């Protein structure tokens, strides 16, 4: 794949090298980090760089094993089998990415266990088939440790099946470059937005459940680039998504007004 077709991702350390080594050694990868810090973009970047198809599954409470593996359906000519995204990824030697894997039920995620050890197999009980994953197949999961609790955390026995990496928001100089590349705003605006993002992140665990993400800064920059005022853009792209409480929202807007030119 040409460089022009690879999604933009700005490396913060050795994560691209580590991911490529894990893929070469047929090891599953676990990525931990806050919402909006670039986990999904990183996976898209690496899949394109490695030239592998990517199947992304957004995990949730109602996700069943059949949603991952597949199910029988009834058509005009009778019953037929339809592969789920995990099965398709195994057959094609693709990368399967389970986003926010801790949101899925434990009885659902157990189906990935045979793929995360030396067996690298996917038993399909409903058809009696057992798929052997080709060398190109890779399983990647991600989650936000900040959301973990007794009911929604990854079991230690599952975590130890993966090579792990921790992501965080980029340092200011890299975050500024990301905003410039993603939105085309001027350097002054990008610098101001990064300073604002870091000011709002100080409020995490005090007035906010979630920190202002790089994604939200990019949203605000795009709105400003299209002609919306800084105040309107930051209200819509940052203050409103970060809180439902009106007093907290007004407090955020005061920080925004102070931080932006």
| Tens digit of each residue's pLDDT (9 = 90 or more) over 89-145 | 999 999 999 999 999 887 788 899 999 999 999 999 989 999 999 999 999 999 988
Considering the domain architecture, whether residues 65 and 178 belong to the same structural domain is answered as no
Q: What is the pLDDT of residue 3?
A: 62
Same domain flag for 161 and 181? no
The CA dihedral of 230, 233, 239, 241, to the nearest 10 degrees, is: -160
Q: Are residues 204 and 99 part of one domain?
A: no
Q: What is the pLDDT of residue 105?
A: 83
Judge if 43 and 114 occupy the same domain: yes
Banded pLDDT at 173 (limits 50, 70, 90):
very high
CB burial of 213-234 (b: ≥16 within 10 Å; e: otherwise) equals bbbbbbbbbbbbeeebebeebb
Give the pLDDT confidence score for residue 203 in this predicted structure.
Answer: 80
Q: Alpha helices, DSSP H only, in 106-212?
A: 106-109, 156-159, 172-183, 187-201
Confirm if 218 and 190 have CB atoms less than 8 A apart: no
* CA 66 remoteness from chain centre: 22
Judged by DSSP in three states, 116 sits in coil
Global pTM reads 0.90
The two beta strands, 129-132 and 121-124, are antiparallel
Number of domains in the chain: 2
pLDDT for 177 beyond 70 = yes
Same domain, yes or no: 127 and 177:
no
- Does 226 lie in the same domain as 112? no
Task: Calculate the average pLDDT of the chain.
Answer: 91
Q: Is 196 exposed, middle or buried (0-12, 13-18, 19+ CB in 10 A)?
A: buried
pLDDT band at 150 (very low <50, low <70, confident <90, very high): very low
pLDDT at residue 180 in the model = 97
Decide if 221 contacts 181 (C-beta within 8 A). no
Same-domain pairing of 202 and 160: no
pLDDT on residue 19: 98
- How far apart (Å, rounded) are the C-alpha atoms in residues 80 and 105? 26
Domain that holds residue 160: 3-166
Do 147 and 161 have their domain in common?
yes
Q: Indicate whether 77 pLDDT > 90.
A: no
């Amino acid at each position: 794949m040409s460089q022009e077709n690879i999604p933009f991702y700005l490396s913060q350390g050795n994560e691209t090298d580590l991911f490529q080594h894990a893929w070469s050694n047929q090891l599953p990868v676990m990525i931990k980090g806050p919402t909006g810090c670039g986990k999904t973009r990183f996976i898209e970047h690496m899949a394109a760089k490695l030239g592998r198809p990517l199947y992304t599954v957004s995990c949730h409470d109602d996700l069943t094993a059949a949603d991952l593996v597949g199910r029988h359906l009834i058509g005009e000519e009778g019953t037929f089998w339809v592969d789920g995204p995990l099965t398709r990824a195994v057959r094609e030697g693709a990368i399967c990415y389970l986003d926010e894997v801790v949101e899925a039920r434990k009885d659902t995620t157990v189906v990935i266990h045979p793929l995360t050890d030396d067996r690298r197999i996917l038993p399909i009980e409903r058809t009696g088939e057992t798929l052997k994953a080709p060398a190109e197949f890779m399983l990647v999961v991600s989650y936000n440790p900040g959301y973990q609790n007794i009911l929604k955390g990854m079991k230690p026995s599952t975590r130890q099946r993966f090579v792990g990496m921790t992501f965080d928001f980029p340092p200011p100089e890299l975050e500024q470059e990301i905003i410039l590349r993603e939105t085309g705003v001027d350097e002054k605006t990008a610098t101001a937005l990064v300073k604002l993002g870091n000011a709002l992140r100080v409020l995490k665990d005090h007035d906010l459940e979630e920190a202002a993400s790089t994604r939200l800064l990019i949203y605000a920059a795009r709105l400003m680039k299209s002609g919306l005022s800084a105040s309107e853009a930051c209200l819509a792209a940052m203050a409103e998504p970060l809180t439902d409480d009106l007093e907290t929202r007004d407090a955020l807007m005061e920080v925004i007004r102070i931080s932006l030119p």
